[in-house]
Amino acid sequence: MAQALLFDGPPARLRLVEQPRPEPRLSEVLVRVEAATLCGSDLHTLAGKRLVETPTVLGHETIGRVEEIGPGYPPRCLGGEILHVGDRITWAVVVHCGACVPCLRELPQKCIRSVKYGHEPWIDRRMWTGGLATWNLLAPGTSIARLPTGLPAGMTTPASCATATICAALEALGPISNRHLLITGAGMLGLTATALARRMGTGSITMVDPIPWRCEKALLMGANRAIGAFSSGAGKLEPVDAWLELSGTNTAWESGFDMLAVGASVVLVGAVFPAPDTCFNLERVVRRMITIRGVHNYAPRHLSMALGLLEKLGSAHPLGGLTGPWFTLANHAEALKVAADPQVLRVGFRPE
Ligand SMILES: [Zn+2]
Ligand SMILES: [Zn+2]
């Protein structure tokens, strides 16, 4: 038998169900889930701040081992290699069709015919698409990546949401080598961005986050300075060439905007929930030749980039320590209690 943790709607109504093991059909891949972490958007869903069709199984940061491959042409991984039973893998959140308008415009994450792991209702072939379950049944066309060997689950499990999203944001930001980078928001995204940007050779990193514990972690990840508010660094902060906005707050936007150097590039990622409008000075955008872009989710290549960068960081990097503690599916109530602690960035589940 297989277990799945079903979400019946807010506030956090969860129940564990038992079902027979699913059988993979044509070109489907059955994966035994090794670990899954709850990302910020899962917590928003559990709290009712984001509406989903229920019942559903949450979790879209998932790793596992290929147990069985359905009949048909053998699936290939993102690197082009054939997928085998026994491979340890992760997979992109969005399965895209490749033929709709957003897909043809190179925005596969906005595919209008997508399957989205951790976001599908508990019916038919989409039952096993959330990470909080014994199995995941991968749909044909899923972007699958083999995990680098030797990395702890704490490092690779967030790859399919947090790490890959940061790779998409860093790509959109343009070259960061020897540039001064500002990051606002030191949650899992901001701390991951700090570690990856440092590895990519950015000149210096300034982190701004109101929580002192998070600022300490940012320094551990490689930030040159970490401050609670822009005002606390007044007079000392130099103009920035690149800015990753991950907090999603208007206050960060309004203060950070004043810091931008000529030719600066800004990527907005954090604002994924409803908020009041904000305003900014258009003349300054023009005269300083500023580029502003929004990035939501990522394309399959960013998952490959994420795993490549994690491999370069290596198993000893403190990034892996940001994930956990870990729970069984049956311990979900305790896991959610722990997830409310601001010093916990990613609770994890290891289905049995
Ligand atoms: Zn996510
Ligand atoms: Zn499409």
**Together in a domain, 257 and 334:** no
Distance of CA 242 from the midpoint of ligand 1 (Å)? 24
**Together in a domain, 263 and 324:** no
**Together in a domain, 142 and 8:** yes
Confidence of residue 256 (pLDDT cuts 50, 70, 90): very high
Tokens 């209008």 sit on residue: 112
**Together in a domain, 264 and 326:** no
Domains in the chain, number: 2
**Together in a domain, 7 and 143:** yes
DSSP SS3 for 195: helix
Threshold 0.85, pTM exceeds: yes
State residue 158's pLDDT score. Answer: 98
Count Cβ atoms below 10 Å from residue 331 Cβ, excluding itself: 12
Tell me: pLDDT of 48 over 80.
Answer: yes
User: What is the rounded CA–CA span in Å between residue 106 and residue 220?
Assistant: 35
Confidence of residue 280 (pLDDT cuts 50, 70, 90): confident
Distance of CA 320 from the midpoint of ligand 1 (Å)? 17
User: What is the rounded CA–CA span in Å between residue 116 and residue 120?
Assistant: 6
Query: 152 lies in a domain?
Result: no
State residue 234's pLDDT score. Answer: 56
Confidence of residue 232 (pLDDT cuts 50, 70, 90): confident
State residue 274's pLDDT score. Answer: 85
Query: 337 lies in a domain?
Result: yes
% of the chain exceeding 70 in pLDDT: 99
Distance of CA 112 from the midpoint of ligand 2 (Å)? 5
Before 10, cis peptide (omega within 30)? no
Distance of CA 161 from the midpoint of ligand 1 (Å)? 5
Distance of CA 102 from the midpoint of ligand 2 (Å)? 6
**Together in a domain, 83 and 125:** yes
Backbone angles phi, psi at 131, to 5 degrees: -70, -20
pLDDT in tens, 210-230: 999 999 999 999 999 999 998
Confidence of residue 6 (pLDDT cuts 50, 70, 90): very high
Q: Are 175 and 197 in contact (CB under 8 A)?
A: no
Instruction: Measure Cα distances from 40 to 4, 72, 99, 167 in Å.
Output: 20, 37, 30, 17
Distance of CA 128 from the midpoint of ligand 1 (Å)? 17
* Both tokens assigned to 225: 């300075």
Distance of CA 109 from the midpoint of ligand 2 (Å)? 8
Query: 155 lies in a domain?
Result: no
**Together in a domain, 8 and 105:** yes
**Together in a domain, 6 and 143:** yes
**Together in a domain, 200 and 121:** no
pLDDT in tens, 78-129: 999 999 999 999 999 999 999 999 999 999 999 999 999 999 999 998 999 9
Distance of CA 343 from the midpoint of ligand 1 (Å)? 18
* Both tokens assigned to 54: 């229920």
User: What is the rounded CA–CA span in Å between residue 317 and residue 314?
Assistant: 6
| Amino acid sitting at position 300 | P
* Both tokens assigned to 197: 């940007």
User: What is the rounded CA–CA span in Å between residue 348 and residue 42?
Assistant: 12
Query: 52 lies in a domain?
Result: yes
Distance of CA 106 from the midpoint of ligand 2 (Å)? 9
Domain CATH number, residue 63 = 3.90.180.10
Half-sphere exposure of 156 (CA within 13 A, CB side): 26
State residue 1's pLDDT score. Answer: 82
Query: 300 lies in a domain?
Result: no
**Together in a domain, 183 and 117:** no
222, β-bridge pairs: none
Residue 135: name the closest of 327, 248, 27, 1 by CA: 1
* Both tokens assigned to 10: 């807010």
State residue 235's pLDDT score. Answer: 60
**Together in a domain, 284 and 324:** no
User: What is the rounded CA–CA span in Å between residue 330 and residue 352?
Assistant: 10
State residue 233's pLDDT score. Answer: 64
User: What is the rounded CA–CA span in Å between residue 242 and residue 226?
Assistant: 16
* Both tokens assigned to 226: 């970490």
First to last CA, the chain: 11
Query: 303 lies in a domain?
Result: no
Domain span holding position 70: 2-147+317-349
Count Cβ atoms below 10 Å from residue 8 Cβ, excluding itself: 12
**Together in a domain, 132 and 169:** no
Query: 307 lies in a domain?
Result: no
Domain CATH number, residue 189 = 3.40.50.720
232 vs 315, more confident: 315
Q: Which ligand is nearest to the CA of 42?
A: 1
